[in-house]
Chains A and B, each alone.
Chain A
Amino acid sequence: MKDQTTYETKFMIGALRRILVIEDDAETATQIVGFLTTRGYEADLAVNGTEGLRLGESAQYAVITIDRMLPGMDGLAIIRRLREAGVSTPALIISALGEVDDRVRGLRAGGDDYLVKPFAFAELLARLEALARRSAAVVKETLLRVGDLELDLVSRTANRGGRCIKLLPREFQVLEYLVRNAGHVVPRAMLLEKIWDLHFDPKTNIIDVYVGRVRRKVDSEQAYPLIHTLRGVGFCIRAPR
């Protein structure tokens, strides 16, 4: 499980490393801020909606995390107000509700991603970084490479060291998504969301089993492994340095 500690934080786009945390539960807030600080981010904390709105409007942040239920102001209302004020900073909604419709409502209000309490900090970070990366220009490529793995996006084929890897269509999609985010952790729920269009975390290990099969096809009888699992969080594809 030292896997989690070997995980390296990538610099965010534009070297903007400030994150606004709007969270009313003191201990959770301290934990989040503490964790982000150890990862080299500068985290500002707002303990209520009004303060969060003020900070969000005044300073420039890479990402904002917002608790769904806040004293004074609802998390969704803050996002709406920020968007009205022209702040387009990506927002990650953190909620303890986990209601069926919450996600729908959260995203409609302009939240960019959604995380249900309790969560692993590594997943929080993975999602925050994914949100920060989102604004990066999408490079139109037909060939993706990680180490000696090559994905041909036109013929939808994969090969490693010149040897063809037989993949089912959805397995290819999973691999493509991992490769597109090479070097970054892809949370399990995010994979389910992007590949299976599933907007809730079934909290089962079924996706691990699935990625396990992809990994067997990609990594077996190879010089080094490419696909790494961060238990309880997600997956990461990366070539050895």
Chain B
Amino acid sequence: MLLAKTLRSTTFRLALISIGVFGAVVIALFGYVYWSTTTFVLSRSDRVIEAEQAMLRNIYDTGGRDGVVRAIDQHKAAARLEGGVYLLANESFVPVIGNLGEWPSALRGANVWGEFKSATLVPKSGASRSLFRAKWETLPDGYHVLVGRDISDLGRFADKIYIALAFTILLIFVLAAVASVSVTRRTVGRIESINAASRTIMESGLGGRIPLRGTQDEWDYLAQNLNSMLERIEGLMAEVKQVNDNVAHDLRTPLTRMRGRLEKASIEKSTSDRDQSLINETIADLDDVLRMFSSLTRISQIEANQKIAFRIVNLIEIATAVGDLFDASAESKGGHVQVIGDKSVRISADRDLLFDAISNLVDNAIKHGGDRGIVIISVEQTDDGAVLSIADDGPGIPADELAHVFKRFYRLERSRSTPGNGLGLSLVAAVARLHGAHVALSDNRPGLKVELQFPPLDEAV
């Protein structure tokens, strides 16, 4: 998992590119060293060869062929140490004197310069055959003279450079690969931990923070900035919530007085029937407004994570109580509410809140499920907790609107005419979150199916 992420990460790709560039530079550098060194050594030995040849030419000019024979004879003795080869041959390339057994075939005709292998002259080198580079020319009397140098050392030097180059490149690649994987892993690991912390914060509320390592590095700096951003968001949310709560709370007292006055007026014996109905309508409207405030306050209180009223409850008991209560309402539309499921499904819950949430869902199912609709509440114990589902056989919710229905005050276009304030499902969502339950909406073909998936008893906090 982490390895796969490492290999996919941008850091790793950058590391690979830099290894490639660095490797290419190293190869070029070694290539240049090799080329310049061999060129230098070769040209130096070529100059020595040419100098010696010139010297032999001089000797010939002054002392004739005999002089050359003597000079070669003298040089031969010292040649063992310097790796020099000398050979004087007659017109048909048959050796006359020198330290080569035969005229090398590479040096005939137009090839003035040539390289050939021959039995070594230098015993310390160990190799039985050595590589020579030589130059030859024809003396005025038709004899041929050859001067050369053992260049085996140059070959060995080149081999050493090759080996060094190969080892260095291998080492660089191994080191670079290890380094880049470990650096990338650290980076990916750190990003992963920040990602994980962010996910937790998104799921469990803005109270969480990304842990710092105390290393004062750029990651800590990033985490600090993210944390202060979270703090700002949390502060803003708290302010908004505070304002909401205050509005809802402070409006209650004057509304209570208003309602009291209206009620007092309605009790007066002198009130006419017309006034009476006006008063009652106003009271009903006032109650609607107050109900909306109660719902808002209630939702924000539920979201504040109040779990003090949590007990172990039997889900089927609550479902049955809700079902009984709403059956009468469904009956008035020609349908009914049916409760099915396991006899005992225990979860940890706030009974009142759960009752409220399920009531909202069943109420919706009856309201939007159409006439003669059948609403089925089913409760089921599953391997990973408990599932309560409410299904109707009405028109359902269009797929593109499913995501919005949990928003506060959101109402489907076609439901605008029915009573309600668009807070019911927000409350359901808030209650579900408090219970660690997952809400899933699906197509019941026909109708809507809402599922509340509760965590198992031992996992619920």
Does residue B415 face the partner (Cβ distance < 8 Å to A)?
no
Contact indicator per residue, chain B 267-296, by CB within 8 Å of chain A (1) or not (0): 101000000110010011011001100100
Interchain CB contact (< 8 A) of B328 among A196, A209, A232: A209
CA–CA, A1 and B276, complex, Å: 8
Do residues B283 and A101 form an inter-chain contact, with CB atoms below 8 A? no
Instruction: For B356, list chain A residues within 8 Å (CB).
Output: 200, 202
Which parts of B318-359 form the interface with A (CB within 8 Å)? Answer: 321, 324-326, 328-329, 331-332, 350-353, 355-356, 359
Does residue B220 face the partner (Cβ distance < 8 Å to A)?
no
Do residues A1 and B252 form an inter-chain contact, with CB atoms below 8 A? no
Does residue B308 face the partner (Cβ distance < 8 Å to A)?
yes
Interface 9-mer from B62-70, B125-133, B235-243, B258-266:
B258-266
Instruction: For A141, list chain B residues within 8 Å (CB).
Output: none
Do residues B253 and A96 form an inter-chain contact, with CB atoms below 8 A? yes
CA–CA, A210 and B329, complex, Å: 7
Do residues B325 and A210 form an inter-chain contact, with CB atoms below 8 A? yes
| A interface residues, how many (CB within 8 angstroms) | 44
CA–CA, A25 and B297, complex, Å: 21
Does residue B202 face the partner (Cβ distance < 8 Å to A)?
no
Does residue B363 face the partner (Cβ distance < 8 Å to A)?
yes
Interface of B is mostly: helix
Interchain CB contact (< 8 A) of A203 among B264, B291, B329: B291
Do residues B253 and A98 form an inter-chain contact, with CB atoms below 8 A? no
Does residue B302 face the partner (Cβ distance < 8 Å to A)?
yes
Q: How far, in Å, is A233 (CB) from chain B's closest CB?
A: 10
Contact indicator per residue, chain A 201-220, by CB within 8 Å of chain B (1) or not (0): 01110110110110000000
Interchain CB contact (< 8 A) of B353 among A100, A120, A170, A231: A100
Does residue B414 face the partner (Cβ distance < 8 Å to A)?
no
Which parts of A225-241 form the interface with B (CB within 8 Å)? Answer: 231-232
CA–CA, A5 and B265, complex, Å: 12
Do residues B331 and A213 form an inter-chain contact, with CB atoms below 8 A? yes
Q: How far, in Å, is A23 (CB) from chain B's closest CB?
A: 11
Instruction: For B321, list chain A residues within 8 Å (CB).
Output: 196-198
Interchain CB contact (< 8 A) of B301 among A100, A122, A196, A203: A100
Q: How far, in Å, is B258 (CB) from chain A's closest CB?
A: 8
Q: How far, in Å, is B355 (CB) from chain A's closest CB?
A: 6
A206 touching B329 in the complex, CB below 8 Å, given contacts A4-B267, A168-B324, A200-B352: yes
Interface 9-mer from A11-19, A28-36, A44-52:
A28-36
Does residue B154 face the partner (Cβ distance < 8 Å to A)?
no
Instruction: For A206, list chain B residues within 8 Å (CB).
Output: 325-326, 329, 359, 363
Instruction: For A231, list chain B residues within 8 Å (CB).
Output: 280
CA–CA, A32 and B328, complex, Å: 35
Interchain CB contact (< 8 A) of B280 among A1, A96, A100: A1
Do residues A101 and B308 form an inter-chain contact, with CB atoms below 8 A? yes
Does residue A118 face the partner (Cβ distance < 8 Å to B)?
yes
CA–CA, A166 and B93, complex, Å: 138
Does residue B233 face the partner (Cβ distance < 8 Å to A)?
no
Do residues B332 and A209 form an inter-chain contact, with CB atoms below 8 A? yes
Can you give 9 contacting A-B residue pairs, CB < 8 Å? A31-B257, A97-B249, A117-B253, A121-B260, A197-B321, A198-B355, A203-B287, A203-B294, A232-B284
What 6 additional pairs, Cβ within 8 angstroms, besides A5-B267, A104-B308, A209-B328? Answer: A1-B266, A1-B280, A25-B253, A116-B294, A197-B321, A200-B352
4 pairs of A and B residues whose beta carbons are closest in the complex = A118-B256, A31-B260, A213-B328, A210-B328
